[in-house]
Amino acid sequence: MPPRVAVFIDYQNVHLSARSRFLPSGTPGQRGHVDPVRVAQRVVDGRRLGGELAAVRVYRGRPSPDHQPEAARASDRQADRWARDPRVAVVRRQLRYPKAWPAEPAQEKGIDVALAVDFVRLACEDADDYGACRDYTDYTAI
């Protein structure tokens, strides 16, 4: 039986990396979004040990409806679409807006910590499901 694999994705980092790699500079911000399940499946397919994609956890900031209503609605629709797949869990934290916003951009805060804490917590809790405590390579974070 192939190992079950859970993939943890810091969405903003993956999104920005994909944009810088595949899209020309100056492309509008709403272009270049990635599908977390497809990204996770590519990660699993590329593993030397193979495996079955069992879970995808996506971590990202959420725009404030008070500051950016259209972006918040778009982000909500995107998260809802991803969560239709039962393997996907979306973890979002509200963006922080500096006093000088919009001259200064909103910031994503706490996403890396949330991902790291969940990674360790779930690795130990789900040891029977994913074998993570016995073989940590069955968990992948990108």
Name the E strands within 46-132: 52-62, 88-94
pLDDT tens digit sequence for 84-119: 999 999 999 999 999 999 999 999 999 999 998 988
Question: Which tokens in the block code for residue 24?
Answer: 């020309």
Give the residue, 125 or 92, on which the prediction is more confident.
92
In Å, how far are 7, 28, 45, 74 from 115, measured between CA atoms? 11, 28, 22, 22
- 46 CB-near residues (< 8 Å, 6+ apart): none
Can you tell me the distance from the alpha carbon of 34 to that of 123, in angstroms, rounded to the nearest whole number?
A: 25
Residue spans of the domains in the chain: they are 4-141
Lowest-pLDDT range, 73-77, 81-85, 132-136?
132-136
Question: Residue 26: in which H helix or E strand, if any?
Answer: none
User: pLDDT at position 23, please?
Assistant: 86
Question: Which tokens in the block code for residue 13?
Answer: 């980092």
pLDDT tens digit sequence for 21-45: 888 888 887 788 899 999 999 988 9
Residue 16's pLDDT band (cuts 50, 70, 90): confident
Question: Which tokens in the block code for residue 69?
Answer: 């209503």
User: pLDDT at position 47, please?
Assistant: 84
Can you tell me the distance from the alpha carbon of 34 to that of 11, in angstroms, rounded to the nearest whole number?
A: 8
